[in-house]
């Protein structure tokens, strides 16, 4: 068997045929209308397996039976076989996407129901990839509002990684308020906001100091708190929790920062830093 025929057999197998089916089909392509004995000899497939292969190929519409004595078989043109099998493969892929999407919806609903029954939890994550993934999931599940206190540096670093989820939240009608450390270079402020490319409806306010802590509130039910301190070191961990006490503290902290921060076009004074005493 030539290398080209072997290559065609491998392609047929990738399109869904078995090894025996591919060899029998190529035998018929080369030989033309042939009987079982000839097919078996050329393909190297045992005669008993030739019958099985022909049965499957016939059902797939790749081989036709010729009424003669003895019975012979003929294959459809190779190009037609490739097109037919490829179309089947594409259809299978579409069906698989529908099935997997349905399975994921069921799984997510069960997980949501399970989470609703759970008591509050506090999770510390120390891998940046996992932190980003969990942040995305929290944004995706947010229904009404996202509030955030963040440094300018981290805002520019993390925003591009979350832009798709933020836009989907915006399209769901989620309100977003971002309290951000105002950069020293005023020229970089407008350019930075523009480069992030978030929806215009996001409410921005700015404060002129390094935030003592950063946090993101989701629906005032869950909170993400990076545990690193903004001193030039890269935060490598974050706490995610739906604990009511943590959420209440984070909400009070955000509100204190937000109410004393200034809109984009209003420059704050350097002594505008609020007292964070919440007692």
What CA–CA distance (Å, rounded) separates 94 from 91?
5
Q: Per residue of the chain (279 residues), give pLDDT as tens.
A: 567 778 888 989 999 999 999 999 999 999 999 999 999 999 999 999 999 999 999 999 999 999 888 889 999 998 899 999 999 889 888 888 888 888 887 887 777 666 565 566 888 888 888 899 999 999 999 999 999 999 998 888 888 889 899 999 999 999 999 999 998 877 788 788 877 778 778 899 999 998 999 999 999 999 999 986 544 455 578 999 999 999 999 999 999 999 999 887 655 455 555 555 544
Sheet holding 63-66, edge to edge: 34-35, 72-75, 63-66
Sheet holding 238-241, edge to edge: 122-125, 238-241, 222-226, 215-218, 145-150, 175-181, 203-207
Please report the sign of the dihedral spanned by the C-alpha atoms of residue 177, residue 183, residue 187, residue 191.
negative
Residue found under tokens 């919806």: 105
Prediction pTM value: 0.54
Structural domains of the chain, ranges and CATH numbers in brackets: 3-82 (1.10.10.10), 120-260 (3.30.870.10)
What CA–CA distance (Å, rounded) separates 64 from 33?
9
């Amino acid at each position: 068997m030539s290398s080209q025929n072997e290559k065609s057999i491998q392609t047929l197998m990738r399109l869904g045929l078995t090894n025996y089916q591919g060899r029998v089909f190529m035998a018929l392509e080369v030989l033309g209308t042939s009987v079982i004995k000839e097919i078996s000899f050329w393909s190297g497939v045992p005669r008993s397996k030739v019958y099985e292969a022909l049965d499957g190929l016939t059902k797939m519409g790749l081989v036709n039976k010729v009424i003669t004595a003895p019975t012979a078989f003929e294959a459809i043109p190779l190009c037609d076989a490739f097109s037919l099998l490829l179309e089947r493969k594409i259809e299978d892929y579409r069906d698989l996407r529908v099935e997997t999407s349905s399975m994921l919806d069921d799984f997510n609903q069960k997980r949501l129901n399970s989470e609703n029954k759970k008591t509050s939890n506090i999770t510390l994550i120390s891998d940046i990839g996992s932190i980003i993934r969990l942040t995305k999931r929290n944004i995706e599940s947010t229904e009404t509002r996202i509030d955030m206190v963040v440094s300018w540096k981290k805002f520019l670093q993390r925003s591009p990684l979350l832009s798709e989820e933020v836009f989907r939240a915006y399209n769901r009608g989620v309100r977003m308020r971002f309290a951000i450390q105002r950069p020293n270079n005023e020229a970089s402020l407008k350019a930075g906001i523009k480069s992030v490319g978030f929806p215009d409806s996001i409410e921005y306010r700015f404060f002129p100091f390094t935030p003592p802590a950063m946090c993101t509130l989701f629906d005032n039910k869950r909170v993400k708190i990076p545990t690193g301190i903004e001193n030039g070191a890269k935060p490598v961990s974050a706490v995610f929790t739906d604990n009511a006490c943590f959420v209440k503290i984070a909400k009070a902290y955000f509100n204190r920062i937000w109410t004393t921060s200034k809109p984009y076009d209003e420059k704050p004074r350097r002594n505008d830093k609020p007292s964070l005493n919440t007692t």
